[in-house]
Structure 1
Amino acid sequence: MVPDLWLVGLGGVVGALLRHFTAELVARETFPVGTLTVNVVGSFVLGLVTVLDPGNAVLLFVGTGACGSYTTFSSFSFDTVRLWETDEHASAVAFAALNLVGSIAAIGGAWLLGSLLPV
C-alpha cells in the first residue's frame, strides 16, 4: 500500500504539470484565462471525485494532490490585483466573479453528473 504522503506528492506532480500545460494552451495576454480555466476545471474534478467517493487513496491523489496543485488561489489573487492596478477595473471584477461563479457552477455540475452516474 502506498503511504498517504506519496499519494499526495505524486498527485501534486501530475496536477502541477497539467496546470502548466493548460495555462500554456489557453494563455492570453490581456486576460488570465489560464488561471480561470484551471480553477473551474479543477473545481469540477474535485466536486466529481468527492461526489463519487472512490475511497481515501483516490481522494488523496486526485483531490488533495492533483487538484491542490492544479488549481490556484494565489495566482487568482495576483491576477485580480494586477488587473486592478493596471486600471482594468471591469476586467478585475469580471475575473473575480467568473472564478467564483464558474467554480461553484462546476461543482454543481459535477454533483449533478455524479448523482446520475451508476456507482
Structure 2
Amino acid sequence: MDIFWIGLGGGVGALARYIIGKAFNSSSIPWGTFIVNVLGSFLLGLMVGVNIDNRSYAFLGIGILGGFTTFSTFHVELLTIWKDQKKSAIFYLFLTYITGICSAIVGLWITAS
C-alpha cells in the first residue's frame, strides 16, 4: 500500500514543481527550481524534526517532496548556465546548496522549539 501513496504523492509533487517552474523560470537563473529545492529542504527538515510515522513519511517525504524537489534538473540547469555565464552558475550553485542546507536546519530547529 505504501507504493500507492508514494506514487500518488510523487505525481502531486511533480505537478507542483512543474507549475512553480513555469511561473518562475523565466530569467537567467532558474528561480523555480531554486524555490522548489529550498522549500522542499525546509519541509523535509520539518518532517524529520516532528518524527512523523512511516506511512505519512512515505506519502509526504518520499512521494510529494521526492516528486517536488529535483536534484537532476538543478544540475542540468547549472551546466546550461555554465556554458555562457560562469559567474551566474557559481552563484546559483552556492546559493542553492547553502540555502537548501540552511532551510533544512531551520525546519529542524522550528520543530525542536
TM over 0.5: yes
Residue by residue over 1:35-80, the C-alpha shift from the partner in whole angstroms, topping out at 9 and shown as x without a partner, is 1111100111111111111201110001101111111111111111
Give the deviation of 1:27 after TM superposition.
2.4
1:70 matched residue in structure 2:
68
Higher helix share: 2
Aligned residue pair count: 113
Question: Which segments of 5 or more consecutive residues in structure 1 lack a partner in the other structure?
Answer: none
Give the deviation of 1:4 after TM superposition.
0.8
Counterparts of 1:110 and 1:89 in 2: how far apart (Å)? 31
Question: Which segments of 5 or more consecutive residues in structure 2 lack a partner in the other structure?
Answer: none
Give the deviation of 1:29 after TM superposition.
2.6
- Corresponding position: 1:103 with 2:100: yes
* Matching residue's letter, 2:88: S
What fraction of aligned residue pairs are identical, expressed as a percent?
33
Counterparts of 1:108 and 1:64 in 2: how far apart (Å)? 19
Secondary structure of the 1:28 match is: coil
Counterparts of 2:15 and 2:74 in 1: how far apart (Å)? 18
TM-score in terms of structure 2 length: 0.95
C-alpha contact (below 8 Å) 2:47/2:57 kept by paired residues: yes
